[in-house]
Structure 1
Amino acid sequence: MQRAYAECAEGFGFRISPCPPADPRKKGIVESGVKYVKRNFLPLREFRSLADANRQVADWVMGEAGNRCHGTTREKPLTRFASVEKALLLPLPTVPPVLATWVKVTVHPDTHVKFGLCLYSVPFRLVGQELWLRATHTSVQVFHEHQLIASHPRLKDPGRRSTVRDHQPLEAQAYQLRDPQWCLEAATRIGSACAALIEALFADRVLDNLRAAQGIVRLAKTYGSARLEAACVRALSFGSPRYRTVKTILAKGLDQQAAQSSFDALAETYTRGGRFCRDTKSLLTH
């Protein structure tokens, strides 16, 4: 019913303003128009729809409420509206105003700010600072000292992120340029086993495994190409072409151990007869 109150008040003589009155003592006079609508229009009425409620409000205003003697002005609201107030009204803007939400956000170390469970990038030089974010139904804008520094489309699904490459540090931008083809070429330079492991990693969901492939190639800077190649050989022998597998092999120095079959590595319990094992003859006597 708030819409009905607004139409009744703003269109037919009730002077409801978005700004507070200059004299606070007149606040009650301004709000009394709402009381009049609630006490004289709503009781004993039923509405089948919003359109029906608006029609009844319009009929009531044009008939009863608009032609009564107003308690303050001592004039009919419709008469005063036509003679005084109508000429003071301004036309509506050609473009409807955009409703926006303003919030203060902090830039995370990953150069993103969070709004509505989604992440939006800003220039990396502003990490740790507080910024103002303006969100509409279709866009998100970020301001720093009254200057627009980032603009993104509004994301709807929680957990999604919108990242502009130029917002990232130079090293991060270079890292993002390392596409699957770059990873395959770098792995080939390291060795055939490394190349085979990267190809196995890209056999399914290339983009999902891109960061893992980049991480495997990057391990050569820490451990060297020879050790990385040996770790890839070991990972492939166990059928586990994964970043975590290769990293664990290198961290524990398993790439420097002699290769042995899985059966040879089993405990004595399985290779030389179990402690509680019995021969076939003893089992068949019962």
Structure 2
Amino acid sequence: MYHYRQVLVRMRQGDSDRDIAKSRIMSRKKLAEVRELALARGWLLHATALPDDTMLAEVFASKDDLPASCQSTVTPWRNEIEKWHAAGITVTRIHQVLTERHGYTGSYSSVYRMLQQIQSRRDPDVPMRLEFAPGEAAQVDFGAGPQITDVMSGEIFKTWFFVMTLCWSRHQYVEMVRDQTVATWLFCHRHAFEWFGAVPARIIIDNPKCAITRACIHEPEVQRAYAECAEGYGFKIDPCPPRDPQKKGIVESGVKYVKRSFLALREFRSLADANEQVKAWVTREAGNRCHGTTREVPLARFAEVERAMLQSLPDVPPELAVWAGVKVHRDAHVQFEKSFYSVPFRLVGQSLWLKATDTTVKLYRDHALVATHVRQQHPGSRSTVSDHLPPEAQAWQLQGVEWCVREAERIGPSCHALVLALFGNQVLVMLRAVQGVLRLAKSYGDIRLEAACRRANHFGTPTYRAVKTILQKGLDQQPERPAFDTLADTYTQGGRFCRDTETLFVH
């Protein structure tokens, strides 16, 4: 409308269309149309006031009010194009469908211009800039770090970096880590709070699995371990809506800043060396730069204002523990991080809650504690409490070879001799057989067991089955018959009836 007003002013001053066209405001053809409309409405008379912009906009037709010859060739299908575009269909596909179904002969560019016109009429998606008070909130995120080669061990591993940025001062904490597990997430929070010396009232996060078990706009489900951490430190968790990272744009910018200003062209000897360098960088460079948004120094804003507005650290740091749902295996053990922990054998097949700290592992059935172990640090290791195993397994573990020998010696010499004979087997491990023999004392008593072992030894059958049969049939209570060896001596001394005269005439 500004150009139309300038044209009318110059026409009222007496300038010709040729002179006005030289200024390249409008073409001579367009100027002739404007002069015709102005004369008809009396706008070129000095006694008449110039029309305002609203009047000019009503008089001069918009670009959409074109004659039929100037309209787009895809105008008949405008409504269908709007629906297809709203459904996410590409411009190329829309052009193909118009050609195949409706016999459209126009160009791809015509369809593209139509979509641009449709989009220009829509209300723009204008994001709202979030404002935060000092100490109100911090934003947290992970970023992909470099691949580090440890100069001492030669190990090559991938890294990530954890960033927590205070929303008001833009002061931040950065830590290089090797994974994004729940334990790493919790300890990075602790280190960040200790770095700031205080705790923000709210932590704005994305929806990582180490913090949120089910992402949802209205009622997200928080990881149990992270919820306990929030309760212990006194902050509230504020997850962003799914697929909407703009809600934590401050830390998103912080992650980019770390990548571009710190990680670029740097070398690290180890993970510890990387963390030393990044802390020095945050203190010297990142914290003392003039921030592009606040136009102030983050570390100065933090020290002068925000530090006093944050919540104090608890007197006793809360216990950081990882919770996991586990199932009891057939061997009365559960598995956690490639290590195994025993529980009472009656819980086989049931689901339990496992709570793991740096030093201990506790297992709960509902809310009842059922087992406690020292946390194992090496994959494949086992922690077994003997009382958790069935009686048979306990007997196998506790009643070893030494115990069996001592117990047999206590019962009597015959039992001791039979046990030694069983253990002397050159082919089989006879521990179960010996344990079975000794357990017979519970049913028959030590005296009868000793007698049964003596009879079994006497007849040359020192086996578990022989001792058990003797006891079941009561043979241990019958008098022993003369040994075969005594009769054999008689035969070897000259025959059955060969006796000397001294013995023959004794009576």
Structure 2: gaps of 5 or more residues: 1-144, 146-158, 173-199, 206-236, 469-507
Aligned to 1:120: 342
TM-superposed CA distance for 1:144, in Å, is 0.8
Superposition pairs of residues 240-279 of structure 1, within 5 angstroms:
246=463
Map Cα deviations across residues 125-152 of structure 1 (whole Å, 9 max, x no partner). Answer: 4343211122333222110112222212
Cα distance change, pair 34–114 in 1 and its aligned pair in 2 (3 A): closer
Choose 1 or 2 for highest CA Rg.
2
Task: Please give the alpha-carbon distance, in whole angstroms, between the structure 2 residues aligned to 1:86 and 1:194.
Answer: 80
| TM, length-normalised to structure 2 | 0.35
Question: Superposed, which structure 2 residues align to 1:150-169 within 5 Å?
Answer: 150-155=371-376, 158=380, 160-165=382-387, 167=388
Q: Do structure 1's residue 56 and structure 2's residue 277 form an aligned pair?
A: no
Q: Would the aligned equivalents of 1:100 and 1:136 in 2 still touch at CA under 8 Å?
A: yes
Question: Which secondary structure state, in structure 1, belongs to the residue aligned with residue 362 of structure 2?
Answer: strand
Contact 2:333 2:340 in 1 (8 A): no
Residues 103 and 134, structure 1, Cα contact 8 Å, conserved in 2: yes
Going from structure 1 to structure 2, the CA distance change for 1:102 and 1:216 (only over 3 Å counts) comes to farther
Distance in 2 between residues matched to 1:156 and 1:210, nearest whole Å: 33
Matched, 1:107 2:328: yes
1-structure distance, mates of 2:328, 2:284? 55
Is 1:41 matched with 2:262?
yes
Which residues of 2 match residues 152-231 of structure 1 at below 5 A?
152-155=373-376, 158=380, 160-165=382-387, 167=388, 179-180=403-404, 183-184=407-408, 188=412, 192-199=413-420, 213-218=434-439
The one-character-per-residue Cα deviations of 1:196-225 (angstroms, maximum 9, x if unpaired) are 13246789xxxx987663233236879x96
CA shift for structure 1 position 161: 4.0
* Match of residue 27 from structure 1: 248
Q: TM-score, normalised by structure 1?
A: 0.56
CA–CA distance in structure 2, aligned partners of residues 249 and 159 of structure 1: 42
Note closer, same or farther for the CA distance 1:209–1:119 as it changes in structure 2 (3 Å cut). Answer: farther
Post-superposition offset of 1:60 = 0.9
- Out of 37, 57, 68, the position equivalent to 2:291 is 68
Mapped partners of 1:217, 1:148: distance in 2: 36
Determine the C-alpha separation between the residues in 1 that align with 2:320 and 2:295.
38
Distance 1:185 1:172, change over 3 A: farther
CA positional deviation for 1:174: 8.4
Query: Residues of 1 paired with 2:386 and 2:333: CA distance?
Result: 10
> Does the aligned pair in 1 maintain the 2:288–2:300 contact within 8 Å?
no
Amino acid in structure 1 at the alignment position of 2:343: S
Alignment partner, residue 350 of structure 2:
129
**Any unmatched runs of 5+ in structure 1?**
237-245, 252-286
Q: Contact (CA 8 Å) 1:109, 1:128: kept in 2 or not? A: yes
Q: Where does residue 90 of structure 1 map in the other structure?
A: 311
Q: Is the 8 A contact 1:4 1:53 kept in 2?
A: no
**Amino acid in structure 1 at the alignment position of 2:437:** I
Change over 3 Å in CA distance of 1:170–1:217 after alignment to 2: closer
Distance 2:267 2:390 in 1: 63
2:171 is paired with a residue whose SS is coil
Q: Distance in 1 between matches of 2:355 and 2:302?
A: 38
| CA deviation vs aligned residue, 1:44-63 (integer Å, no higher than 9, x gap) | 34456343443233211233
Q: Could you tell me which amino acid in structure 2 is paired with residue 130 of structure 1?
A: S
Instruction: Give the conservation status (yes or no) of the 8 Å contact 2:341–2:373.
Output: no
Match of 1:13 in 2: 171
CA deviation after TM superposition for structure 1 residue 85, in Å: 2.8
Assess if the C-alpha contact under 8 Å between 1:141 and 1:150 holds in 2: yes
